[in-house]
Amino acid sequence: MEMILNKIMNFVKCGGITVTFPSKRTKAFGDPVLATKLHVRFATSAALNATIRNPSVGFGEGYMKGDVIFLAGSFNELMSFLAANKREFKRWFNIPLVRELPTNNKKHQQKNNISHHYDIGNGFYKLWLDKSMTYSCGYFSTPHTSLEDAQDQKRQHILRKLQLQKGMSLLDIGSGWGSLLISAAQKYRVSGLGITLSDEQLKHSRQAAHEAGVDNLVTFELANYQDLPAQGRKFDRVVSVGMFEHVGRAGMRTYFKTIDNILQDGGVSVLHTISSNNSYGGTNAWLEKYIFPGGRVPAVREIVDLLPQFGMSMVDYESLRLHYALTLEEWLRRYETHAKSIKNDYGTNFYRMWQMYLAVCAANFRAGGIDLSQFVLVKGLNNDLPLTRNYLYGGNRR
């Protein structure tokens, strides 16, 4: 397999990498100076063979086991290197983070998929999330904004996009640990429903709402969004943050059909999702296997194409790609400060698995392999929305 990797790396045209093979032979590829900044060692032949056969799963599993080691650089340098040489590596490795793979995401499987990721335990997430337990992209006014401030700014940014008014009803699909809906009730005095498929998130959300003094305005339920239309529920506003990635390709139509059924005419919906700027969406084989079973990153094109079929129009769009890179980099920094306790509680393989997940995602947002999209959608016609974006940044509402 050393010969095969040699042939692959001889196509390198941008940047450089140094590889130490299981035989302990070391070779630099590409620019010799840049190659000193990215040095990967394959400690076993099994790890090298697996990486060549299936780069995503093979490399990931090798890293988890400690058989793939960075002697210089990190996932940030690696993903930038791969992205820069994507044309050269195309025959061997599908460079984008996402590609279409079969996933198990039927309705009956969705709670198990969500529990796999989100029910690890609230104590685990408290180690590295901000105090509000917000597990989605922050909004950084500067690169030096604290994570706590960035998450609060993100919540306020989304709530302004929703154009909330006192007395409105708001549905939060995939409400996480509850911070967005609680903020909406505190600032705008709206009534709200948050739904999740995670037992741990539900428990935390209800307690947080009680402590914030808004449990008379908002409720949280363990529910699947697909069941809401049959209950006859209607809402003035609908928001979804970091949930759409879990619906799967077949579930995209179901999602928008549900929004069409439960959103009042003229109602506003904000969809906040990781996205692909390619013409296709998909998933990553290692992420599907270990981190997000049933997950799929949608393409922006796929979302936009579906909207007219369900009476929805897009009135605003914003990319927050670099904001998510900054968020993930801070999560990773905080996560790594708890390395000892996480290894003790969950094991070294688990620690490396989550470290790789956070690091690879941060690097891919930096390298442009994936994006973060915020869509502002309207059902039917609404001529009362602001004419400009001034309302988002402290100006007049109209």
Mapped onto helix, strand or coil, the DSSP state of residue 161 is: helix
pTM of the shown model: 0.91
Q: Tell which wins on pLDDT, 334 or 93.
A: 334
pLDDT at 97 over 50: no
Q: Which residues are catalytic?
A: 361
Scanning the chain, the segments in alpha helix (DSSP H) are 2-9, 32-35, 45-53, 55-65, 75-84, 107-118, 122-126, 147-162, 179-188, 199-212, 248-262, 285-290, 300-306, 321-337, 339-346, 348-367
CA separation for the pair 200, 181 (Å, rounded) = 17
Mean pLDDT of the chain: 92
CA separation for the pair 385, 267 (Å, rounded) = 10
pLDDT score for 397? 45
Residue 325: alpha-carbon gap to chain centroid: 10
Q: Tell which wins on pLDDT, 104 or 128.
A: 128
Look up tokens 């006014």; give the residue: 141
pLDDT at 284 over 80: yes
State residue 369 phi and psi, 5-degree precision. -70, -30
CA separation for the pair 297, 284 (Å, rounded) = 9
pLDDT at 94 over 60: no
CA separation for the pair 301, 282 (Å, rounded) = 13
pLDDT score for 98? 44
Say if strands 26-30 and 16-20 run parallel, antiparallel, or are unpaired: antiparallel
Going along the chain from its start, the domains and CATH numbers come out as: 2-84 (no CATH), 107-393 (3.40.50.150)
Complete DSSP assignment for 68-107: EEEEE--HHHHHHHHHHTTTTTTTT---SS-B-------H
How would residue 206 be classed by pLDDT, with cut points 50, 70 and 90? Answer: very high
Tokens at residue 176, please? 């996480």
H/E element holding 294?
none
| Mean pLDDT on 259-285 | 93
pLDDT at 54 over 60: yes
Give 323-377 as a 3 state SS string. Answer: HHHHHHHHHHHHHHHCHHHHHHHHCHHHHHHHHHHHHHHHHHHHHCCCEEEEEEE
pLDDT at 277 over 50: yes
Say if strands 39-42 and 191-196 run parallel, antiparallel, or are unpaired: unpaired
pLDDT score for 88? 79
For the stretch 108-124, pLDDT in tens is 677 787 888 888 999 99
Q: What residue type is 25 in one-letter code?
A: R
pLDDT at 168 over 50: yes
Tokens at residue 311, please? 């009476």
How would residue 348 be classed by pLDDT, with cut points 50, 70 and 90? Answer: very high
Q: Which is nearest to 271 in space by CA: 301, 300, 244?
A: 244
How would residue 396 be classed by pLDDT, with cut points 50, 70 and 90? Answer: very low
CA separation for the pair 1, 148 (Å, rounded) = 47
Say if strands 218-222 and 235-241 run parallel, antiparallel, or are unpaired: unpaired
pLDDT score for 8? 87
pLDDT score for 283? 87
Mapped onto helix, strand or coil, the DSSP state of residue 205 is: helix
CA separation for the pair 186, 155 (Å, rounded) = 12
pLDDT at 128 over 70: yes
